[in-house]
Chain A
Amino acid sequence: MLTEVKNQIKVVFLSIKYSVMRELLNRFTFISNVIFMMLNNASMIIQWLVLFSLRENMGGYTFKEVLLLWGIASSTFGFSRFFFYKAFSLSSIINEGKLDSYIVQPKNILISIITSDISVSALGDLLYGYIMLVFYGLSIKSFLLFTYFIITGGIIIAAISVILNSLSFWFGNTDVIAETGNHLMTNFATYPDGIFKGIAKALLFTLIPVGISNYIPVHVIVNFDLNLFLINTTVCIFLIYFAFITFYTGLKRYSSSNLMSSKI
């Protein structure tokens, strides 16, 4: 079992390494994608600077905490798109019948597919989060917690995408549903949770679990709380399990195709 996990991780990293090698063929595009994504994120901070010049506190967050929230949001987004990029286009892979080459290999099908490509600009998002962490206040504790939460957060985002995209096994093309879900997870990720009340807040900790992937990490890094830490971890494990169950149940309904295709 342990060897199997070790071998799977080896293949995942090899796959990511080869994708990076492909992107590095065009060095200028690679570097500019990363830098421009960081600049794009940085421009968003300006509106918060303006808002904080009017008030000292926004939904219970100080400016530094908003930077931390932005860091978490950016890095979880980047982590999910860098390591699990294909989780976000799984619907079209299923609909076009392109799972065949993964099914005939002795590795976990879902993991092999979602890690088979990377988004270079996501690397910019991932790094940008750490810059925000530096502005918030870098310490060993904050660095370790931040890294832990971007892993769990990135996995939560990817797992939700896998669940929504896997609906394609039953309902055909569900990429719009999946895209909406992904947008909701991103749109609410950079606002302080204090500004949401009632049903909206309840939704953000259940159906659209941005609260679990983004707000809880900010609270735990600012003021460590074991219960919140465990909630984040438990939800992450549950969503991984649910994503696998949904994908593998749907896989029994998979119908392949004879379309000409190539792996690029």
Chain B
Amino acid sequence: MAVIEVKNLSKSFKVKLKEKGLKGSLKSIIKPKYKTIKAVRNVSFSVEKGEIIAFIGPNGAGKSTTIKMMTSILYPDKGSIKVMGLDPSRDRKALSYEIGTVFGQKEQLWTHLTPYDNFKFFGAIYDIPEKAIEKKIDELRELFELDSFINTPVRNLSLGQRIRCEIVASLIHEPKVLFLDEPTIGLDPVVKENIRTLIKRMNKEYKTTIFLTSHDVGDIEKLCKRVIIINNGTVVMDDTMENLKYHYLNKKIVEAKMKEMVNLEDEEGITILKDKGYNLKIEVDTTKKSVSDALKLLNPDNIIDINISNVPLEDIISDIYKNRD
């Protein structure tokens, strides 16, 4: 059953234009000019129960606008949205019991209160009886390992601890769908990994459907089985992570440490990425030349050390952004 269904969704913003300097400012008062920006254009997709979806795209692609329309924050111009069978622009209150939101850039917690007091406040917002709140806090405290700082004011927490608390606050009412808008922004690699583990655990324990936007390829690669790529307001790709890798991973990166120098210039299917004499880094296009042929050119007896890897997902995604612009 689809928990999210988006059909032909569109949203435009009217932006005031202003010419340079004071003269431009005066002109814009007398005769204002506006420009319409189509932030989201005919976007359609659906999400099944329990999925972890990556909804990615460059800055200004329309990710946040789409999420905000799915969470009742913005009204769409055209198209329809159903989240848990509810229309976000008409059933705001009913929908808010079903969904949770974490906006990495916006804090929802009261900074002078402890996480515990904040969770109690969120419990009251969602009309949860006192005993049930306590039970839920205990459960989440254990799952998210909050014991050491649950009674420390939020303003004294590290960014990683704060994001953990933000996620817990959004889970107090047991939402069926969780929207995470760049949850790992600004976090160090260790904390990022920690948050990813917790998101996975949450998805497994509560079968929560997770709709994630992130610029961090690690988040996408490690968490999501399906990726929707949006650029210039339209969906440019909606595929499984496996397919994405399979179709775009027809290139391999070969890094080799050589005994003697080798000249691979003008070889079809081989692009030299780095050539520092005895250290060589090449990209092999497997549709034109097999990896084994490339290795033969290097001469196995001549190789001291070798590493063969896939093209980083980050490069694949930025390639898709560029090619489908």
Interface residues of chain A, those whose CB is within 8 Å of chain B, are 3, 7, 10-11, 14-15, 18, 21-22, 25, 99-101, 103-107, 252, 254-256, 258-264
CA distance A254 to B317 in the complex (A): 32
Partner of B125, one of A11, A103, A259: A11
Check if B121 sits within 8 Å of A18, measured CB to CB: yes
Q: How many residues of B contact A (CB 8 A)?
A: 32
Check if B110 sits within 8 Å of A101, measured CB to CB: no
CA distance A21 to B93 in the complex (A): 28
**Chain A residues within 8 Å of B108, by CB:** 101, 263
Q: Smallest Cβ distance from B309 to chain A, in angstroms? A: 35
Q: Smallest Cβ distance from A75 to chain B, in angstroms? A: 28
Say whether B124 faces chain A, with CB atoms less than 8 Å apart. yes
- Nearest opposing residue in chain B for A7, CB measure: B127
Known interface pairs A252-B75, A262-B111. Does A100 touch B125 (Cβ–Cβ under 8 Å)? no
Interface residues of chain B, those whose CB is within 8 Å of chain A, are 13, 64, 68, 71-75, 92-94, 96-97, 99, 101, 103, 105-113, 117, 121, 124-127, 155
Check if B107 sits within 8 Å of A261, measured CB to CB: yes
**Chain A residues within 8 Å of B72, by CB:** 103-104
**Chain B residues within 8 Å of A254, by CB:** 73-74
Check if A106 sits within 8 Å of B73, measured CB to CB: no
**Chain B residues within 8 Å of A255, by CB:** 13, 74
**Chain A residues within 8 Å of B97, by CB:** 106
Q: List 21 A-B contacts (CB under 8 A).
A: A14-B121, A18-B110, A18-B113, A100-B73, A100-B106, A101-B108, A103-B72, A104-B73, A104-B96, A106-B93, A106-B94, A106-B126, A106-B127, A252-B75, A255-B13, A256-B74, A261-B106, A263-B107, A263-B108, A264-B110, A264-B112
Q: Smallest Cβ distance from B208 to chain A, in angstroms? A: 16
Q: Smallest Cβ distance from A93 to chain B, in angstroms? A: 13
CA distance A122 to B117 in the complex (A): 25
Q: Smallest Cβ distance from B203 to chain A, in angstroms? A: 20
Check if B73 sits within 8 Å of A263, measured CB to CB: no
**Chain B residues within 8 Å of A252, by CB:** 75
- Report which residue of A99, A259, A262 has the largest number of chain B beta carbons within 10 angstroms of its beta carbon: A262
**Chain A residues within 8 Å of B93, by CB:** 106-107
**Chain B residues within 8 Å of A100, by CB:** 68, 73, 103, 106
**Chain A residues within 8 Å of B74, by CB:** 254-256
Q: Smallest Cβ distance from A2 to chain B, in angstroms? A: 13
**Chain A residues within 8 Å of B106, by CB:** 100-101, 260-262
CA distance A248 to B196 in the complex (A): 38
Check if B111 sits within 8 Å of A263, measured CB to CB: yes
- Report which residue of A101, A104, A252, A261 has the largest number of chain B beta carbons within 10 angstroms of its beta carbon: A104
Partner of B105, one of A25, A260, A263, A264: A260
- Report which residue of A101, A106, A107, A256 has the largest number of chain B beta carbons within 10 angstroms of its beta carbon: A106
Partner of A105, one of B75, B96, B117: B96
5 tightest Cβ-Cβ pairs between the two chains A and B:
A262-B107, A106-B96, A22-B112, A106-B93, A101-B108
Check if A104 sits within 8 Å of B99, measured CB to CB: yes
A11-B124, A99-B73, A104-B99 known; 5 other A-B pairs, CB under 8 Å? Answer: A7-B127, A100-B106, A103-B92, A104-B73, A254-B73
